[in-house]
Structure 1
Amino acid sequence: MATRKQAPSSPTEQEGDKPADPLFNQSLEKGLAVLRAFDASHRTLTLGELAELTGMTKGSAQRTVHTLQVLGYVGKHPRTRRFQLLPRAMEIGANYLVGHPLVQVSHPYLAQLTHASGETANVTEPVGQDMLYLAQLTTSKHIPVFTPVGMRIPMYCSSCGRAYLSTLPDEQVRQILEASQRAARTQYTLTDVDAIVEQVRQCRQVGYATNCEELFLGDMGLAAPLVDRQGQPVGALHLSPPTSRWTMEDARKKLAPMLIESARAISSTIAF
């Protein structure tokens, strides 16, 4: 059964709690909250469910959803009559990706890395305490977990998150980790801050970070940090070898060198 989302606190619904910025548009805030309420666990929603997930009153949710319907971002499922996103909602995210310099620069290297490794190669960037999938080239072989572009995964238990954290000072790393919920996603997930910091420090020494079934069972990760020409961290490049084809020892020996080389090549061409 899908876990219900926590209704976010909303300045539009809290009496006496108004944004200090006089230019802040609360109607736009509500519209974006409705669009973000839909996800893999909530492909379709009723008006009441939307109101609950966004922290709005039912009347406010109704006006917001109606506006999004008129604009073509939300519609009703033809059979269930529940609300769902329409293809036009893709335009917002697609426009971000099309113009992203990291996506443009990394594409040829992703192709080379996927061909050389035989495994799925990904580029991610930090968003809060998560890493966001920006680009991906998948292998033709079986993959146990589908992680599409646009998906977010937590830093603390992912190889790409640890690779990105390795570019930051320890104090900042700890702040990010302590602000994360650090739930045990599997029986192998590291949740102790000191243990995760040690993994980050190891990445600084060898040039790449690892994750073995900490995020998804059957899935491993090896990642190297990406920095721009000024040395500022911008994201991570990572491979997703499944445990059905690789041991971590073999992945370290065969995949890590080509991963590091590709990450360095991408970093040398990034000019934000």
Structure 2
Amino acid sequence: MDATPDTAPEDSQSLLFNQSLEKGLAVLRAFSARRRTMTLADVAEATDITKSSAQRMVFTLEKLGYVRKHPKTRRYQLTPRVMEIGFNYLAAHSLIDVANPFLSELTKVTTETSCLTEPDGLDMVYVARFVSAQFVPVHMPIGSRIPMYCTASGRAFLSALPEDEARALIEASDRVAHTMHTRTGVDEILEELRQARQQGFATNAEELFLGDMTVAAPVLGAQGRPVASVHVVAPTSRWTLEEAVRKLAPTLLLCARSLTSSARSID
């Protein structure tokens, strides 16, 4: 019997899905700052797969050069080859290539660190960064992830979405209070987004890390939807929120507009 139109596309997609590839990627993603090295049992537990499956995945990844076993501890760890995948993404990304000169100029004019982040799920991911010569309270290398709901770059991105979409992302977030300043209520975060829409930029005052304050603006694509956010770091050791908004926001908005023009031409 032929499949119905409603179920055929889903069935055919599930037949194309490669579970072995999914498991292999899960193994790579399981390594982190908390799990720098792992035994096979650790890998199986971290990825929720059987030990025999973990052994096959790790053996294959080791042969391909993505993991290696320490000769003394016999524990597995990632190799530098893993970075090739992420670097290829950065190298092939047109917006990042275009954004770098603008970020460099933003850091030069403000004397503060400037960054470009992109959305991934409920997070924003650092894809470009120009570091200030001055003290920066938090080190956020390329590839770092920060939650949308409590960061300026995340709120800038959310503020450029239709409110129902923004609300859905906020409600789906695990709204943890990272500091005593973190806003976790859906309604209060939505109010922050409404203010960001009115002024064109969002702020974050020590909601993720103490001593860290940022001002961010969305970067829009060809369809008028946000594709990224650009932000300037304003450490509380040098700035008050009022000073950061008054002195940094105008330059930041100029940068965001330039990046938006570039993003629309790329799209």
TM over 0.5: yes
Report what 2:98 is aligned to: 105
3-state DSSP of counterpart to 1:44: coil
CA distance in 1, matches of 2:235, 2:16: 49
Report what 1:13 is aligned to: none
Give 4+ residue runs of structure 1 displaced > 6 Å after superposition: none
Deviation at 1:79, TM superposition (A): 4.4
CA distance in 2, matches of 1:79, 1:247: 51
CA distance in 1, matches of 2:182, 2:30: 27
CA distance in 2, matches of 1:82, 1:147: 27
Once the two structures are superposed, residues 44-83 of structure 1 have per-residue CA deviations (whole angstroms, 9 ceiling, x without a partner) of 1121111111001111101110110000000123443321
Once the two structures are superposed, residues 107-155 of structure 1 have per-residue CA deviations (whole angstroms, 9 ceiling, x without a partner) of 1000000111111111011111111111111112111111111111100
Question: Which amino acid in 1 is paired with 2:193?
Answer: V
TM-score by length of 1: 0.91
1:246 paired to 2:239: yes
CA distance in 2, matches of 1:264, 1:78: 53
Deviation at 1:157, TM superposition (A): 0.2
| Contact 1:160 1:224 (C-alpha < 8 Å) held by counterparts | yes
| Contact 1:229 1:269 (C-alpha < 8 Å) held by counterparts | no
1:216 paired to 2:209: yes
Report what 1:124 is aligned to: 117
CA distance in 2, matches of 1:140, 1:124: 21
CA distance in 1, matches of 2:126, 2:32: 15
CA distance in 1, matches of 2:223, 2:18: 36
| Contact 2:95 2:262 (C-alpha < 8 Å) held by counterparts | no
CA distance in 2, matches of 1:145, 1:254: 21
3-state DSSP of counterpart to 2:149: coil
3-state DSSP of counterpart to 2:178: coil
Report what 2:191 is aligned to: 198
Number of equivalent positions? 255
Once the two structures are superposed, residues 2-42 of structure 1 have per-residue CA deviations (whole angstroms, 9 ceiling, x without a partner) of xxxxxxxxxxxxxxxx9961121111111100000011222
CA distance in 1, matches of 2:31, 2:216: 29
Name whichever of 70-79 and 52-61 sits farther off. Answer: 70-79
Question: Which amino acid in 1 is paired with 2:258?
Answer: A
CA distance in 2, matches of 1:250, 1:76: 51
Within 5 Å, give how 1:155-234 maps onto structure 2. 155-234=148-227
3-state DSSP of counterpart to 1:116: helix
TM-score by length of 2: 0.92
Question: Which amino acid in 2 is paired with 1:89?
Answer: V
Within 5 Å, give how 1:56-71 maps onto structure 2. 56-71=49-64
Question: Which amino acid in 2 is paired with 1:169?
Answer: P
Once the two structures are superposed, residues 205-237 of structure 1 have per-residue CA deviations (whole angstroms, 9 ceiling, x without a partner) of 111000000011110111000002442210100
Question: Which amino acid in 1 is paired with 2:42?
Answer: E
CA distance in 2, matches of 1:207, 1:124: 17
| Contact 2:161 2:225 (C-alpha < 8 Å) held by counterparts | no
CA distance in 1, matches of 2:36, 2:13: 34
Report what 1:263 is aligned to: 256
Q: Gaps spanning 5+ residues in structure 1: where?
A: 1-17
Report what 2:5 is aligned to: none
Question: Which amino acid in 1 is paired with 2:35?
Answer: H
1:74 paired to 2:60: no
